[in-house]
Structure 1
Amino acid sequence: MRYHIGNLDQHQLINLYRGMLKPRMIEEKMLILLRQGKISKWFSGIGQEAIAVGVSNALKESEYILPMHRNLGVFTSRNVPLDRLFSQWQGKMNGFTQGRDRSFHFGTQDYKIVGMISHLGPQLGVADGIALADILRRNKRVTAVFTGEGATSEGDFHEALNVASVWNLPVLFCIENNGYGLSTPTNEQFNCEHLADRAKGYGIESRIIDGNNILEVFTKVDELAKAIRKRPRPVLLEFKTFRMRGHEEASGTKYVPEKLMKNWAKKDPISNYEAFLLEEGVIAQEEIDQFKAEITEEINQNLKKAFDEPTVSFNESKELEEVYQDIDYEEVIPNENSENIRFVDAISQGLEQSMERHNELIIMGQDIAEYGGVFKITEGFTSKFGKRRVRNTPICESAIVSAAMGLSINGMKAVMEMQFADFVSSGFNPIVNYLAKVHYRWGQNADVVVRMPCGGGVGAGPFHSQTNEAWFTKTPGLKVVYPAFPSDAKGLLNTAINDPNPVLFFEHKGLYRSVYGDVPTDYYTLPLGKANLLEEGEGVSVVTYGAAVHWAIETLKKHPEIDADVIDLRTLQPLDIEAVYASVKKTGKLIILQEDTLFGGIASDISAMVMENCFEYLDAPIKRVGSLETPVPFARELEKNYLPQQRFENALLELVAY
């Protein structure tokens, strides 16, 4: 192995050596503890230390790094306290996830490290968002994100590189090509000679680097980082290396040819570099022995602290409270001036006034800039706020959700428009696995609103008509808002944007231009989790939300003899179930109407909760009404009978007559 010292001084050369030695010695200790049953799992980076250590040392402490399983050297290079790492791996309270997650599935703002999730791809898009925030603030920073060669087959990889290229984001995409994805060799994963060649398709630069040569890693990344700070742009780096142990220790390495293992063992990044330093007289054996003794002592002392720490104890209220970041709701009372506007105008007005209120609020989506979005909600926004804050995106929902998460990590707010709520399936993974879980896992909030134009009745067919709120009400960590009136839409949207937690904001397309209402002209907020009692009666409780609110009111107008409470839930998570209980205790009868198909929807949960908590007040079985158990059909007659209006009227009359 050939080493070129270049302009590096003795201190830097030794620092890089010690930087690799420390994670290697920690790993060797962890493998012993794993065999003793004192940690549950280990993903080894032995043989790959030069990459994590070289990249970390080339970046500034203020610059974010997004590592993976085998990048212990990132954490040690950033001087993350060992006792906290050891507690993390043992599931102790002093760990970064307080026992809620394992391994390197965590981040820490104190050290500008953002850890991975098991769904590997989204962190590439998160890096885009972090870098975007730096660009918008004109910070001259680089973001480095790691991935293995296996994850380059995921769609998120391609989406993230494309977005970074289109937006000229200062991201170093670091591929550790270590030969195997678990047991699948590279020749069964991709059919190009070098993964770096893929950069050509995105119009970005790439480099191939010897991942076992610490000096090559450090000097080339250092040179690139300095260049990117001056002229922001993404670069794809392929580090050629090898995984000397299994995917994780239980996997073993029997699937690897013995000759291949022996050849790569000869390229060990630490033993080769150590021999070079000794030969060049940069370091003496006595110094090496001293380093090893010091690191051993540091490991043992911090292990003792972690072992002495008690096992984590369960506190139910704490667990529930920390799913979401705390928020002090700021009530903003509107002035007395109002105007009668459409639902769509109220959404646009709320979004515009929130953009004025929050200087670092970024909105992203397909066709939302000059075109104004397919529903024209952001029409005129670019002339007022500029294309830096109103951003057209490629068609890549997953990468943009992840980028919104990255903006939040770097201290900004994001609103992302799903062109249609149906398309959220393409961004489902980062919503339910990243945004929803990140605060519970390591205390990082996801300050993201995903706008969801939804709903049927407009002849748009199976792929543009779903009302899919139940996909998200099931997921702890997400908030779900679904207004029915223009004034609610504006006030709740403002609150959703103020909320530091991820919010799915459903906007029924059928209401956009058909429903008018008096809406205060200035900025105001409405609380999440507070239902609205629209009509009061003694005979039956009608609980609903979204467009179904209007269907319920229309039906009741046809039957003035029915004396009903009508409750518009407005938000589904948090859910104002107490308002439902109070109504049921008064009327003794409950019917729940939703546009979504019936099975597994919000009506089922409300019904179950009322049965559990108000059974003795019920004078009749609870009725649930929803759409037909089919995809949403296109033809008018089919869609009319798919939707639940007529079934609701029949069920309501049956319930009243019970």
Structure 2
Amino acid sequence: METATKNQSPLVFDRKNLSDKILLELYESLLMPRRIEEKMLILLRQGKISKWFSGWGQEAISIGAVNALEADEFILPMHRNLGIFTGRKMPLERLFSQFQGKLNGFTKGRDRSFHFGSIEHHVVGMISHLGPQLAIADGIALADKLSKEQKVTLVFSGDGASSEGDFHEGLNVAAVWKLPVIFVVEHNGYGLSTPSEEQFAFKNFTDKGPGYGMEAIRIQGNNVLEVYQTILKLAEDIRKNPRPVLVEAITFRMRGHEEASGTKYVPKQLMENWSKLDPVENYENYLEEIGVLDEKTKEKINKKIKKKINDGLDIAFAEDAISPNLENELADVYAPFQQNVHPPSENSSKAEKRLVDAISDGLKQSMEKYQNLILMGQDIGEYGGVFKITDGFKKQFGADRVRNTPLCESAIIGAGLGLSIKGFKAMVEMQFADFVSVGFNQIVNNLAKIHYRWGQQADVVIRMPTGAGMAAGPFHSQSNEAWFFHTPGLKIVYPSNPYDAKGLLNAAIEDPNPYLYFEHKGMYRSISAEIPDEYYTVEIGKAALVKEGTQVSIVTYGMGVHWAQKAVEEFGISADILDLRTLLPWDKEAVKKTVKKTGKVIFLQEDCLTGGIGAEICAWISEFCFQDLDAPVMREGSLDTPVPFAPNLEKQFLPVDRFKRKLQELIQF
């Protein structure tokens, strides 16, 4: 049954071989979110909750799905899937505390409604951007497949959210990798107020499945038995024969996108037609018709549900409003981790290695150390990556752990998060740092915020080949570390030499928090050093004083370290050169110490000058080291233009010559 028409009959149910017990369990499960909604709408009018996203009319999809899966199989719901949360038996008092922003809620008041997850209940909640959920489901399913667990992951999308690129990427990756994912599209006809015909040109989502190389099934989403039986059968089959399947559930939302928006944009006749297909009323009538449900049983179930709701609300309302605790807020930005630095042994053998070799060496040793570490990226398999860092890895570690990916950065980063949810570690290689913009949302809104929101670590390292100097133009040369420096929850490292390159990469992989690991392409084969062969790590958050002097302090990182060294040698300047190494968190004590020592400081970065990392650190120096300064705080960076292609233009773009002039000016001040 695809759409509601004026003469459409009520829903037709077929119990098949389902017992009376299961039929009644489904009824009680279906009734719970409806009764909660009824209560929440009252509380909303009373001003006791701030907002409500209604799933009224769509409950059968959630209830059919959650009851069809095993309790330890992950479900990734959206904001109209209250039944997933109640179906997984989450304590109602915690759900209600979540809705009210109380401490006992799943996000401790840090996020709203269903923007949370619970590993205990095998639920991973949404973020407001909707589409990124699908890639996380891919990662969870990949973990199950790698572990040879016969499990299914189910993820929801609305028909509106399907217009996002993440929808395409999520389905495409699942199809290519044959992941055991059920993609459920709740086709309710509207994305907020925009009707389907203004969202997409096709009629049904079942038309899309074959294009991805996957099966597609259309069901009547208001029929709880049809949903339950379809998902149950699919899940049983997919566990034995892993593959993705697209399920289109035709339904209708009977209330506004959220209550304030109303439903005036819906034609009256359409609303009346769908009201005849109410999933709760129709199923209740069916059970009464076949003699499974009588008034006494109905009253008993309603009374039981009402008591649970009222008891939960009493507990939630009795809970005090959150009292802000600054220490707790800051402590939860990152997953707890105490780094134990592994220095190389004194008798460790050493070998001359280029920066590119050091990175490859560290990555290989981390793969040997962590059997749950999965590498993902474009062309990293047989080809070994465009810079050959993973050359030979596929042969040594296998195609399961060294995974060529489609060109879909967002889905692969999201899959890395999904792997982390299942206890894996993930390394995602950006072919060039410039391409990370396609996966920006996953990094700054999923990886960075997930621990602060609901305590889930994001054990993902993203390698970022970066930097200019090779006449590669504006899309293969950008320094984009400042894009992420502003985002709490991320850690950023940027080595300037082979020793640090290996040690910082190993350290980043050890840490269960999300990392951006920047590696300058221009240093890959131009910088070399004798470094230990064995596994070792470098302390995160600790700068390195690579040269000592008395006249001036140069604070920098990456290629800037080498530019600074050449400049002081050229002019015979006695300078402290401080290599930050870790950009987030950066070493305030080391910066303060060198400024206090010389009284003059200049920050050098390859990134464009405006809004760069140097701006923040120079502002901090001006605020906290003012009494130690003998001259204005200076900084230099690249021009505020895109990176040009022609070598002479690129040379002008880069800050080397301007830095030399400004350094001499500072010395003479």
Q: TM-score range by the shorter chain?
A: over 0.9
Match of 2:480 among 468, 475, 500: 468
Distance in 2 (CA, whole Å) between partners of 1:68 and 1:25 is: 19
1:621 matches 2:632? yes
With the length of structure 1 as denominator, give the TM-score of the two structures: 0.99
1:412 matches 2:441? no
CA deviation after TM superposition for structure 1 residue 179, in Å: 1.1
Aligned position for 1:54: 64
CA deviation after TM superposition for structure 1 residue 195, in Å: 1.1
CA deviation after TM superposition for structure 1 residue 330, in Å: 2.0
Aligned position for 2:242: 232
Aligned position for 1:369: 381
- Indicate the larger mover: 207-216 or 190-199: 190-199
Distance in 2 (CA, whole Å) between partners of 1:410 and 1:27 is: 32
Match of 2:36 among 26, 32, 36: 26
User: Counterpart amino acid of 1:444?
Assistant: Q
Match of 1:591 among 581, 602, 610: 602
1:631 matches 2:642? yes
Match of 2:433 among 405, 421, 434: 421
CA deviation after TM superposition for structure 1 residue 332, in Å: 1.3
Aligned position for 2:570: 558
Unaligned segments of structure 1, at least 5 residues: none
Distance in 1 (CA, whole Å) between partners of 2:418 and 2:337 is: 20
- Indicate the larger mover: 168-177 or 188-197: 188-197
User: Counterpart amino acid of 1:227?
Assistant: D
Distance in 2 (CA, whole Å) between partners of 1:147 and 1:401 is: 19
User: Counterpart amino acid of 2:502?
Assistant: K
1:528 matches 2:540? yes
User: Counterpart amino acid of 1:528?
Assistant: I
1:575-616, CA deviations, whole angstroms, 9 ceiling, x for partnerless residues? 001101001011000000000001101111111101111101
SS in 1 for 2:208: helix
CA deviation after TM superposition for structure 1 residue 625, in Å: 0.4
Distance in 1 (CA, whole Å) between partners of 2:567 and 2:550 is: 17
Distance in 2 (CA, whole Å) between partners of 1:197 and 1:259 is: 27
Aligned position for 2:176: 166
CA deviation after TM superposition for structure 1 residue 333, in Å: 2.0
CA deviation after TM superposition for structure 1 residue 353, in Å: 0.2
Match of 1:641 among 641, 645, 652: 652
Distance in 1 (CA, whole Å) between partners of 2:343 and 2:563 is: 30
Distance in 2 (CA, whole Å) between partners of 1:322 and 1:602 is: 24
SS in 2 for 1:45: coil
After the TM superposition, list the runs of 4 or more consecutive aligned residues in structure 1 that deviate by more than 4 angstroms.
none
Distance in 2 (CA, whole Å) between partners of 1:285 and 1:451 is: 63
With the length of structure 2 as denominator, give the TM-score of the two structures: 0.98
SS in 2 for 1:43: coil
1:322-355, CA deviations, whole angstroms, 9 ceiling, x for partnerless residues? 0001112122121331111100000000000000
Match of 2:448 among 436, 450, 454: 436
Distance in 2 (CA, whole Å) between partners of 1:24 and 1:496 is: 46
Match of 2:103 among 57, 82, 93: 93
Distance in 2 (CA, whole Å) between partners of 1:62 and 1:189 is: 35
1:465-517, CA deviations, whole angstroms, 9 ceiling, x for partnerless residues? 00100000100000000000000000000000011000000000000000001
Aligned position for 1:151: 161
Distance in 2 (CA, whole Å) between partners of 1:291 and 1:339 is: 73
Distance in 1 (CA, whole Å) between partners of 2:630 and 2:341 is: 39
Distance in 1 (CA, whole Å) between partners of 2:620 and 2:60 is: 56
Identity %: 61
Distance in 2 (CA, whole Å) between partners of 1:99 and 1:255 is: 33
User: Counterpart amino acid of 1:565?
Assistant: D
Aligned position for 2:7: none
Distance in 1 (CA, whole Å) between partners of 2:52 and 2:425 is: 35
Match of 1:389 among 398, 401, 407: 401
Distance in 2 (CA, whole Å) between partners of 1:10 and 1:527 is: 62
Match of 1:653 among 653, 657, 664: 664
Match of 1:267 among 265, 277, 300: 277
Match of 2:134 among 121, 124, 137: 124
Aligned position for 1:81: 91
SS in 2 for 1:450: strand
Distance in 2 (CA, whole Å) between partners of 1:495 and 1:330 is: 9
1:372-411, CA deviations, whole angstroms, 9 ceiling, x for partnerless residues? 0000000000110000000000000011010001000111
Distance in 2 (CA, whole Å) between partners of 1:603 and 1:379 is: 35
Match of 2:198 among 188, 191, 199: 188
CA deviation after TM superposition for structure 1 residue 190, in Å: 1.0
Aligned position for 1:506: 518
User: Counterpart amino acid of 2:189?
Assistant: G
Distance in 1 (CA, whole Å) between partners of 2:318 and 2:390 is: 57
User: Counterpart amino acid of 2:129?
Assistant: H
Distance in 1 (CA, whole Å) between partners of 2:316 and 2:580 is: 47
User: Counterpart amino acid of 2:604?
Assistant: L
1:508-547, CA deviations, whole angstroms, 9 ceiling, x for partnerless residues? 0000000001111010011110000011111110110001
1:204 matches 2:214? yes
Aligned CA RMSD, in angstroms, stands at 0.6
Unaligned segments of structure 2, at least 5 residues: 1-10
1:119-147, CA deviations, whole angstroms, 9 ceiling, x for partnerless residues? 11101000000000000000000000001
